[in-house]
């Protein structure tokens, strides 16, 4: 190849404090949502004793992912996300509202996520999400489902 692009997987929440330094050195960032959220919540998502602490649509997760997306947009750093969130239509809808445009998912998830994308008014979702960022709720899942139902989004 004539050029080599360098990137980083963001899977450790503490790296959010290093984003300014990272984005000066890389061409792209890919968020590994499974590990990153597990570490963010200090909860093993596969352990039923603590799984209730792990909600990828909790305000803390959405604020974290939104901060990464905003920084990447400001620095014109390409951003993607891989993991279970990308293949879940409701979570993917939320990610799109936060500014994620590259989502990596398993093949069976493509159809449902594609249907959601085709039915989504991104501008309305972006406005809606800006009002939720400081919600005291444990999860924004029900509010996001209500948004989808009210706006005809296929989740």
**Three-class DSSP labels, 26-77:** CCEEEEEHHHHHHHHHCCCCCCCCCHHHCCCCCHHHHHHHHHHHHHHHHHCC
pLDDT for residue 69? 98
Structure tokens, 143: 């509010």
pLDDT for residue 122? 98
pLDDT for residue 48? 82
Structure tokens, 50: 């603590």
pLDDT for residue 115? 98
Architecture of domain 7-150: Alpha-Beta Barrel (3.20)
pLDDT for residue 57? 96
pLDDT for residue 60? 92
Rounded mean pLDDT for each run of 10 residues along the chain, 155 residues in total? 93 96 97 94 82 85 97 98 98 99 98 98 96 83 98 98
pLDDT for residue 128? 96
For residue 110, CA distances in Å to 18, 35, 103, 116, 120 come to 32, 22, 10, 10, 15
Q: Which of 101, 94, 89, 22 is nearest to 63 (CA)?
A: 94
């Amino acid at each position: 190849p004539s050029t080599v692009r360098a990137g980083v997987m963001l899977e450790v929440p503490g790296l959010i404090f290093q984003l300014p330094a990272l984005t000066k050195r890389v061409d792209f960032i890919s968020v590994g949502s499974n590990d990153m959220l597990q570490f963010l919540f200090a909860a093993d998502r596969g352990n039923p004793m603590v799984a209730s602490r792990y909600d990828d649509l909790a305000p803390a997760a959405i604020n974290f992912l939104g901060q990464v997306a905003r920084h990447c947009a400001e620095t014109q750093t390409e951003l993607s996300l891989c993991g279970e969130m990308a293949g879940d239509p409701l979570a993917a809808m939320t990610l799109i509202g936060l500014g994620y445009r590259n989502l990596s998912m398993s093949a069976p998830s493509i159809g449902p996520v594609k249907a959601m994308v085709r039915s989504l008014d991104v501008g309305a979702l972006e406005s809606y999400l800006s009002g939720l960022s400081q919600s005291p709720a444990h999860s924004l899942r029900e509010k996001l489902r209500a948004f989808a139902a009210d706006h005809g989004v296929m989740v």
